[in-house]
A and B are shown apart, each in its own frame.
Chain A
Amino acid sequence: MKGMIPAVLALADGTVFRGYGFGAPSLRPSVGEVVFNTSMYGYQEILTDPSYAGQIMCFTYPHIGNVGCNDDDVESGRVFVDGVVVREVSAITSNFRARRSLGEYLRNAGVTGIGGIDTRAVTTHLRSHGAQMGALFAGDRIGVDDLVSMARAAGSMEGKDYVKAVTCAKPYAWNELPWDLARGIQEVPFESLVTRPHVVAVDCGIKRHILRLLVDVGFRVTVVPASTSADGIRALRPDGVFLSNGPGDPATLDYVVEPARALLGTVPFFGICLGHQILGQAVGGKTFKLKFGHRGGNHPVKDLATGKVEITVQNHGFAVDQGSLPNNVVVSHLNLNDGTVEGLAVPELRAFSVQYHPEASPGPHDSRYLFERFYQAVVGDQVHV
Chain B
Amino acid sequence: MPKRSDISSILLIGSGPIVIGQACEFDYSGTQAIKALKEEGFRVILINSNPATIMTDPEFADVTYIEPITADYVESIIAKERPDAVLPTMGGQTALNIALELDERGVFARYGCALIGATVDAIKTAEDRELFRQAMEEIGLASARSGVARSVRDAEAIAEKIGYPLILRPSRTLGGTGGGIVEHPQELIQKVSQALSASPNREVLIEQSLIGWKEIELEVMRDLKDNVVIVCAIENFDPMGVHTGDSITVAPIQTLTDKEYQLLRNAAIAIIRRIGVETGGSNVQFALNPNTGDIIVIEMNPRVSRSSALASKATGFPIAKIAAKLAVGYTLDEITNDITKETPACFEPSIDYVVVKIPRFNFEKFPLAETTLGTQMKSVGEVLSFGRTFSEALQKAICSMELGSAGFDREQWARDLGRDEVLEECRLPRAERLWYLGEALRAGNSVAALNKTTGIDPWFLSTIQSIIEEEEGLRERPLSSIEGDEARSLKQRGFSDARLATLLRCREAEVRERRRALGVLPSFKSVDTCAAEFEAFTPYLYANYDDHNDAPPTERRKIMILGSGPNRIGQGIEFDYCCVHAVQALRADGYEAIMVNCNPETVSTDYDISDRLYFEPLTLESVLAIVERERPHGVIIQFGGQTPLKLAADLAAAGVPIIGTSVEAIDIAEDRERFSALVKKLGLRQPEGALARSVDEAVAAARTIGFPLMIRPSFVLGGRAMRVVTTEAELRSYMQESVSVSHDRPVLLDRYLTNAIEVDVDAIRDGTTSLVAGVMEHVERAGVHSGDSSCCMPPHTLSDAVVAELKRQACLLAESLGVRGLLNVQFAVQGGKEIYLIEANPRASRTVPFVSKASGIPWAKVAARVMAGKSFGELGISSLAGSGPKNPPYYSIKACVFPFAKFRGFDPLLGPEMRSTGEVMGIDTSFAGGYARAELAGGVQLPLSGGAFVSVNDGDKEEVVPVARRLAELGFSLYATAGTAAFLTSHGVSVSTIQKVREGSPHVIDLLGSGKISLVINTPEGHGTFLDSRSIRLVANELRIPIFTTVAAVAAAAESIALLRVPHERTVVSLQEYHSRLG
Contacts and interface: CB of A to CB of B under 8 A. Distances in A.
A337 B342 contact: yes
Nearest to A337: B343
A179 B259 CA distance: 8
Given A40-B350, A296-B533, A181 B459 contact: no
Interface in B346-362: 346-354
A360 interface: yes
Given A92-B459, A309-B332, A63 B389 contact: yes
Contacts of A13: none
B110 to A, nearest CB: 36
A94 B459 contact: yes
Interface in A243-280: none
Interface in A15-50: 36, 38-42, 44-45
A298 interface: yes
Contact of B388 (A36, A39, A88, A92): A88
Size class of the contact patch on chain B: 35 or more
Given A309-B333, A311-B347, A41 B533 contact: no
Given A95-B255, A298-B348, A41 B343 contact: no
A62 B257 contact: no
Interface string B511-550: 0000000000000010000111111000000000011101
A116 to B, nearest CB: 8
A97 B532 contact: no
A281 interface: no
A272 B314 CA distance: 34
A145 interface: no
Contacts of A67: 255-257
Contact of B225 (A45, A300, A308): A308
B138 to A, nearest CB: 20
Contacts of B531: 38, 60-61, 120, 123, 296
B546 A118 contact: yes
Contacts of B525: 120
A1 B252 contact: no
Nearest to B227: A309
Contacts of A237: none
B352 A120 contact: yes
Interface string B309-352: 00000000000000000000000110000000011101111111
B213 to A, nearest CB: 12
B532 A60 contact: yes
Given A66-B254, A297-B348, A311-B348, A96 B534 contact: no
Nearest to A17: B547
B261 to A, nearest CB: 5
Interface in B258-311: 258-263, 265-266, 290-294
A142 interface: no
A336 B344 contact: yes
A62 B350 contact: no
A62 B388 contact: yes
Nearest to B388: A62
B294 A181 contact: yes
B389 A298 contact: no
B458 A94 contact: yes
A365 interface: yes
A363 interface: yes
Contacts of B254: 63, 66
B466 interface: yes
Contacts of B354: 62-63
A295 to B, nearest CB: 9
A92 B462 contact: yes
A286 B292 CA distance: 48
Contact of A87 (B225, B388, B457): B388
Contacts of A96: 290-293
Contacts of A297: 348, 350
Contacts of A299: 347
Nearest to A362: B258
A87 B493 CA distance: 12
B532 A120 contact: yes
A363 B348 CA distance: 11
A70 B294 CA distance: 18
A97 B258 CA distance: 12
A361 interface: yes
A121 interface: yes
A336 B346 contact: yes
User: Considering residues A38, A297, A361, which has the most beta carbons from chain B within 10 angstroms of its beta carbon?
Assistant: A38
A60 B293 contact: no
Contact of B459 (A42, A90, A300, A360): A90
B347 A62 contact: no
A129 interface: no
A95 B525 CA distance: 30
B253 interface: yes
Contact of A38 (B226, B260, B333, B533): B533
A36 B352 CA distance: 12
A255 B229 CA distance: 40
A72 B666 CA distance: 64
B485 interface: yes
B489 interface: yes
A236 B611 CA distance: 65
B256 A41 contact: yes
Contacts of A120: 352, 525, 531-532, 546, 548
B549 to A, nearest CB: 9
Nearest to B289: A96
A91 interface: yes
Contacts of B350: 38-40, 60-61, 296-298
A181 B265 CA distance: 14
B390 interface: yes
A95 B347 contact: no
Nearest to B533: A38
Contacts of A94: 255, 457-459, 462
Nearest to B337: A337
A307 interface: yes
Given A61-B351, A364-B265, A336 B343 contact: yes
Contact of B353 (A44, A62, A66, A365): A62
A73 interface: yes
A208 interface: no
Contacts of B261: 41
Contacts of A92: 447, 458-459, 462
A127 interface: yes
A119 interface: yes
A45 B258 contact: yes
A58 to B, nearest CB: 11
A124 interface: yes
A123 B533 contact: yes
A326 B894 CA distance: 72
A152 interface: no
Interface in A72-95: 72-73, 87-88, 90-92, 94-95
A302 interface: yes
Interface in A326-354: 336-337
A38 B253 CA distance: 15
A36 B388 CA distance: 17
A340 to B, nearest CB: 13
B348 A118 contact: no
Contacts of B294: 181
A70 B257 contact: yes
Interface in B546-572: 546-548, 550
B333 A300 contact: yes
A361 B137 CA distance: 27
A63 B459 CA distance: 11
11 contacts: A40-B253, A61-B351, A72-B259, A87-B546, A90-B459, A121-B547, A124-B532, A127-B534, A311-B348, A336-B343, A337-B344
Closest 6 pairs between A and B when the two form their complex, measured CB to CB: A42-B258, A362-B258, A121-B548, A118-B546, A94-B459, A60-B531
Given A63-B354, A123-B532, A364-B262, 12 more contacts: A40-B253, A40-B350, A40-B351, A62-B388, A63-B254, A91-B462, A127-B532, A296-B350, A309-B227, A361-B258, A362-B258, A365-B265
